[in-house]
Amino acid sequence: MHGSRIVIVGASLAGLRAAEALRAAGHRGHLTLVGAENRPPYDRPPLSKEFLTGERTPESICLGPTAHLGLTERYGHPAVHLDTAGREVHLDDGSVLAYDGLVIATGAGPRPWAGPLPATGVHTMRTLEDARALKEALTGARRHLLVAGAGFIGCEVASAARGLGHDVTLVSGEPLPLSGATGDEAAGFLTRLHHDAGVEILTRSTVTAVHGRTRVTGVTVDNATDITTETALLALGARPHTDWLAGSGLRLERGLLTDEYTRALDAHGRPRPDIVAAGDITRFPHPHAPGPISLGHWSNAVEQARCAAHNLLHPRRPTPYRPVASFWSTQYGVRFRAVGLPRYADHAELRELDHEKRRLEVAYYRRGHLVGALTAGRAARVTAYRSELARSLAGIAPLPASS
């Protein structure tokens, strides 16, 4: 692969980190970075937090510079088709990029709303443009924001909007916000933060209709209750950007499936050594989970991209990708830090819960083995959990690379 042509589709954190890793590992050949948005890669985690509150700016979230990487940068032109037999990526302007090696890092977008929507006032949160639009809507006089979906993005935006002095209603499909991702103990702690901050929380509830023609006027919850609102955020989860891969012969199942070595699988489940993938678009096997998993985390994009770059350059001695996942969230000034896979636990153990000091420590187990931990105000304790998870993963032999 050295000296050949490599195309990276997705000018994302994962795409940029793959480019850096390819160059650092000695790839001297052509390297092209393709992005759907008309801008260089930037950091997304601040969009739902510090960007809304004004602590971070578009300049400060830019991931550059890229000049030293010697890239051909193609921004503003999404890939629309992949020809794996001819080894070509087709862009929306008709241009065709031939490759010897391909990195797929097109990420994910907001899960779309199925029904009709008003022309304005309804937001999603994924891109800088999305965040700018919501920030503008939340600038000025006190208003009401309805947040549909209480995952991390929904909860973080609720927190930011309260911080800006707006009234917020948070609609959660789960028994508690984030209970699926973090379990009842952590979700209870977090729900109390929202409650104490004055957020109205509807649990086990779903927004079933959004009203208004030119501008949103309200929503209906569970086909029964109408709520008046001036602004709505639809934070209904992520949908991987796989549309452009339809007809490519790659295996798409709620994401792009890869093997344990970051290689894309074909329709027969065989890995393609010339195509690797990283970031939010991927679903991959993990020893601590029952099936392929998707991790929409910052650190996953970084680590998976590095592993994918190595495996593209060294197809005969690929490195398995089995990360200790790591993610964080900030809400109402409380920093949550988590490692591992709390979502896949069958048992959670509450080690500390102190609402007064805003401290939390939860350990997560699956079949009696530690699979994750989450803390708030107890950062020092995360390190030991992470080490234990790393040791546990190191003790499980990887599947052979030649499967």
Q: Interface with another protein by CB under 8 A: which residues?
A: 43, 45, 298-299, 302-303, 324, 326, 328, 330, 335, 337, 339, 377-380, 382-383, 386-387
Shortest reach from residue 357's CB to another protein, in Å:
11
Q: Is the Cβ of residue 292 or residue 296 nearer to another protein in the bound state?
A: 296
Q: Give the separation between CA 190 and CA 176, rounded to whole angstroms.
A: 9
Q: Is the Cβ of residue 20 or residue 274 nearer to another protein in the bound state?
A: 20
Q: Is the Cβ of residue 126 or residue 386 nearer to another protein in the bound state?
A: 386
Q: Is the Cβ of residue 270 or residue 355 nearer to another protein in the bound state?
A: 355
Shortest reach from residue 359's CB to another protein, in Å:
10
How many other CB atoms are there within 10 angstroms of residue 45's CB atom?
A: 20
Residue 64 DSSP label: -
Considering only the C-alpha atoms of the chain, give the largest distance between any 2 of them, rounded to a whole number of Å. 62
Q: Give the separation between CA 41 and CA 339, rounded to whole angstroms.
A: 26
Residue 385 sits at the vertex; the CA angle it makes with 46 and 188, to the nearest 5 degrees, is 60
Q: Is the Cβ of residue 55 or residue 346 nearer to another protein in the bound state?
A: 55
Q: Is the Cβ of residue 267 or residue 379 nearer to another protein in the bound state?
A: 379
Q: Give the separation between CA 325 and CA 303, rounded to whole angstroms.
A: 10
Shortest reach from residue 387's CB to another protein, in Å:
8
Shortest reach from residue 386's CB to another protein, in Å:
5
The neighbouring-strand residues paired with 250 are 266
Helix (H) or strand (E) holding 33: strand 31-35
Helix (H) or strand (E) holding 160: helix 152-163
The neighbouring-strand residues paired with 365 are 347, 370
Percentages helix, strand, coil for the chain (3-state, rounded to 5) are 25, 30, 45
Shortest reach from residue 331's CB to another protein, in Å:
14
Shortest reach from residue 379's CB to another protein, in Å:
4
Hey, what are 126's tokens?
């994924």
